[in-house]
Structure 1
Amino acid sequence: MDSVLARVSEATGVPADLLGGFLSVLAASAATGRLPGRADMDGLRECGALAAERGIPLRVLADACLHAAEITAGGTFGAVRRGMAAYIEGYEEAQRAALRQEEEARRMFVDDLLQGRADAERAEHFGLRLAGAYVVTVARPDTPVAAGDPLAGRIEQALVARFGSHNILVAVRDGLLVCVSPGALTAASGEFTHRVRSALTDWRVGVGRPHQGPGGIVTSYREAVNAIDLGERLGLRAQVLKAADLLVFPVLLRDREAIVDLVSTVLGPLTSARGGPEPLLETLEAVFASQGNHTAAARRLGVSTRAITYRLERIRRLTGFSPSDPTQRFTLETAVLGARLLEWPAHPLV
């Protein structure tokens, strides 16, 4: 048997310690006419897993098995078939285990990356060079994406096919699809959004600003998530929201006392209107979104142009502010935005 092991190992390059059990199975089958038992199969599965861990191609392992059967007198085909099946089962299980370990390592890396704990060496392993500036784009579907969803892999493969394999990462975190791409690669965010649009029905995308280094990735990620949150709080219709376009809102929120005072002073009188302030707030939002065009605003709200005119006059009488006056328009629009940020009038101003 040792001479056969040596010949097969020399011919195929498969180490002899991985083939001894297979030759014993062939010899026992030839002597008894029986197929290999459970213990033999378990041993061959372990050898298959070892072959995978050592990086021996499955094709080479299969060739070694067939070569051993070819030069072993009396080997039965049934034993060869079952023995090879056991090798392959062990081999494939080792590969699946390696994939699971890689997926877990990737998940942990993404968590660390988006919390500022990733190091350059691990980042290089996943294709990122942390010295550059990066943009984070986040997609929030109506139904959260499950961890391990193949959609993230498909989108990443599509981006890599277009832009190359370096410095692009797509992953799932907290039910969101997250794309990290170089700040200089401005088309990557658009391509990511295109792929999200093709794969999902209800979604919204937030795009952070480019920032430098590991801490910059965390900042860009938070900006992207906050852009989506702001869009929902403000009732914005756009599906793609860029943090750079929404910089005024964090400024407003930093001085809560000032924005509460503005909303209370400018819009507070609307609470005395019949039907409450909400219809009048919606009218102001529609007029501002339509750049002052009353016809377009009426179309947005599904009312007549005359109703828009009447409501604006009612607002002017109650508050003393008119959107037709350039100076007052800015004050009114800022107050309306502040009201949405504070979720007024649903929540009291405190």
Structure 2
Amino acid sequence: MANPSQRETGPPRTEVDFALRELEFLQRLSRQAAATVNSDELLSLIIRETTSAMGTDVCTLYLLSQSGRELVLTATNGLNERMIGRSILPLGEGITGWVAKSRQPRLVAEVAKDAHWKWVPGLDEERFHSMLSVPIESGPRLVGVLNVQSVERRDFTAGDVDFLQAIAGQVAGILERSELQRRLEEQLREIQLSHDVHERFTRLSLEGAGIPAILEAVGALASGRAALYSLGGFRVRGAGDSSDGLPGRLTVPVRQLSSGAREFRIQAGRPARPLDVVPVRAGADLLGLLAVAVPEQVLDEEGRRRALEHGSTVLALELSKERAAAEVERRLRGDLVEEVLAGGLAEDEMERLAAQAERLGHRLPHSAWVIVIEPDDQAVDSGRNDPARQDRLDAALGEVLKRRLVGGLAMVRSTGAVVLAPGEQTPDLLAAEKLAEHLRAAAAPVLKPVTASAGVGNLARSVSELARSHVEARQALRLTRRAGARSQVTTYRSLGAFRLLLEVQSPEALRGFVSDVLGSLLTYAESRDTPLLETLEALAAARWVRRAAARALGIHINSINYRVERIEKLTGLSLRDPETRVAVAIALRAHAMLGV
């Protein structure tokens, strides 16, 4: 029996040597990895050192994909390197997949005889016989799998497993630090990129380069032509024409704008091409749409995203500045027109207004037509105090004037708009009516769901007569509206003899005249169902032709004859008498005007 004092108190000398070799290797690997910055060099270092330390012919590293469902060949020093990034193994498939799924090492003396072996075409694994595979783990998280293989048959030992697992643990830490460093560097690059892009756009804005220069910068940074579109989808800014690949109009789904999306992709143009669309917003207000063509290959996705993001922000600032400037200009222009239309101005006041108009870039016309555009039913016009609607109405009318009239002045009110059309550009009443219809048609979509009509006064032959023409245009509108007309253009001159009613200063005098002529019919209408008053209005509108009035009312001629007899009996009037017809027509128009 051996003397206890002579008994070995530690592991055999060979085990100590092995542990020291293992420790020295891991320390050397850690130091070299810490000094290596490039990720490719780091992977090459891990593979090279592991192969040498394990005394094998090849080492292979598989890393878990982002989806967490498959392994991707990431580095090797003995297999086909062209398969790096292309050789993909689902978890559980092959020896490597089994190790990843089970989180257990596997020793295989003859891979071709192993139940889990799977030959991967193109990977050049046929010459290798033995294999040791261990999982790479970072805490509870699987990072990948580390494999070593040998051409000659080899029986890997438990010590080999422990050593490779120790290397795998070190590799996990190295990869974690490398990934953290990569993410930090990526974040720094993103911050620097964002700073550079923001600084470029801010400099353009501060230098007053304008929206075209900003769009050009967006296009350069995003690798595609850029343009600005209105909320209606019409292209309003952006160099070039349809040949640049950007359509003149976009059709954007309403749900995309109402959802608050920051960016979305659509197909537009002929032929259809992909466009990235970014709503340009200032707070809750949607000002326009930034559209950028998508190139066939985006080289810098992050740079493109930053360009769209910062570009839309600076465009919102520029559009807000333009809106504010337009609002000031519109208010000054509105005050000017209001003062002109007020009338009763002395000569020196007229000179002051003319000078003010010149400073605003307008010239008061020596002669002009006054056109008034208003909603037909202001009582139900819920949007009349909406500043955004006033902006759109001003822009719509301004577009018509820019295309059709040089020197026209428009003033937008909460109740509608007033336009001064220079007589030199609008030589006669017919031309004034056509212009009024274009203006009314442009205003109609803005004022929806309320319909709009336009009134045109007589030609003002001097600035001092503009007030009179304005009153005439509003009177034409009022009489037409009282008569039930909608979406029409009415000139003061077309009122004919009925204009005399407007000269009657006393409403009571008009009411008395209406009562004398139509009083019995008005009383009858309050208690009876037969529409005698409506029949009389249809006859007057049909120039007293009974068959035409019957068609307008949708009744038989005999019914018209019966109603005429009833009217004549109630009123004591003869509708065959020309003077009576004139009196009845005037009374009907006065009744409509007074609203009685």
TM-score bin, normalised by smaller chain:
0.5 to 0.7
1:193 maps to which of 412, 429, 437: 437
1:241 maps to which of 490, 500, 506: 490
Q: SS of 1:52's equivalent? A: coil
**Percent of matched pairs sharing the same residue:** 30
Unaligned runs of 5+ in 1: 1-28, 67-76, 345-350
Structure 1 residues 206 and 37, CA gap change in structure 2 (3 angstroms): same
- Root mean square deviation of aligned Cα: 4.2
Structure 1 residues 155 and 34, CA gap change in structure 2 (3 angstroms): closer
Q: SS of 1:318's equivalent? A: helix
Structure 1 position 88, deviation (Å): 6.4
Q: SS of 1:148's equivalent? A: helix
Residue in 1 that maps onto 2:324 = 101
Conservation of the 8 A alpha-carbon contact between 2:396 and 2:443: no
Conservation of the 8 A alpha-carbon contact between 1:140 and 1:177: yes
Q: Quick check: 325-334 or 134-143, which moved more?
A: 134-143
Q: Distance in 1 between matches of 2:520 and 2:480?
A: 26
> Where does 1:1-350 land on structure 2 (aligned, <5 Å)?
35-36=191-192, 47-52=203-208, 58=213, 92=315, 95-116=318-339, 119-125=353-359, 127-141=361-375, 146-149=389-392, 152-163=394-405, 166-170=406-410, 172-184=412-424, 185=426, 186=428, 187-194=431-438, 196-197=440-441, 200=444, 202-212=451-461, 216-236=465-485, 239-246=488-495, 247-252=499-504, 254-271=505-522, 273=524, 275-276=527-528, 279-344=531-596
Q: SS of 2:208's equivalent? A: helix
Structure 1 residues 43 and 248, CA gap change in structure 2 (3 angstroms): same
Deviations 1:202-236 (A, max 9, x none): 43221122225555444433432332222121234
Structure 1 residues 160 and 248, CA gap change in structure 2 (3 angstroms): same
Q: Distance in 2 between matches of 1:196 and 1:271?
A: 35
Q: Distance in 2 between matches of 1:223 and 1:48?
A: 50
Q: Distance in 2 between matches of 1:122 and 1:260?
A: 45
Q: Quick check: 124-133 or 81-90, which moved more?
A: 81-90
Query: Counterpart amino acid of 2:482?
Result: R
Q: Distance in 1 between matches of 2:508 and 2:359?
A: 47
Query: Counterpart amino acid of 2:412?
Result: V
Conservation of the 8 A alpha-carbon contact between 1:120 and 1:130: yes
Residue in 2 that maps onto 1:69 = none
Structure 1 position 190, deviation (Å): 0.7
Q: Distance in 1 between matches of 2:537 and 2:494?
A: 17
Structure 1 residues 82 and 193, CA gap change in structure 2 (3 angstroms): closer
Structure 1 residues 221 and 128, CA gap change in structure 2 (3 angstroms): farther
Structure 1 residues 292 and 161, CA gap change in structure 2 (3 angstroms): same
Higher strand share: 2
Residue in 2 that maps onto 1:347 = none
Structure 1 position 172, deviation (Å): 3.2
- TM-score calculated relative to the size of structure 2: 0.42
Higher helix share: 1
Query: Counterpart amino acid of 1:270?
Result: L
Deviations 1:224-253 (A, max 9, x none): 23322221212347822112233223124x
Q: Distance in 2 between matches of 1:85 and 1:57?
A: 15
Deviations 1:33-63 (A, max 9, x none): 784499988776654333117x89838x97x
Conservation of the 8 A alpha-carbon contact between 1:136 and 1:179: yes
- Asked which structure has the greater CA Rg, the reply is 2
Unaligned runs of 5+ in 2: 1-184, 222-299, 341-351, 446-450
Query: Counterpart amino acid of 2:398?
Result: E
Q: Distance in 2 between matches of 1:39 and 1:238?
A: 54
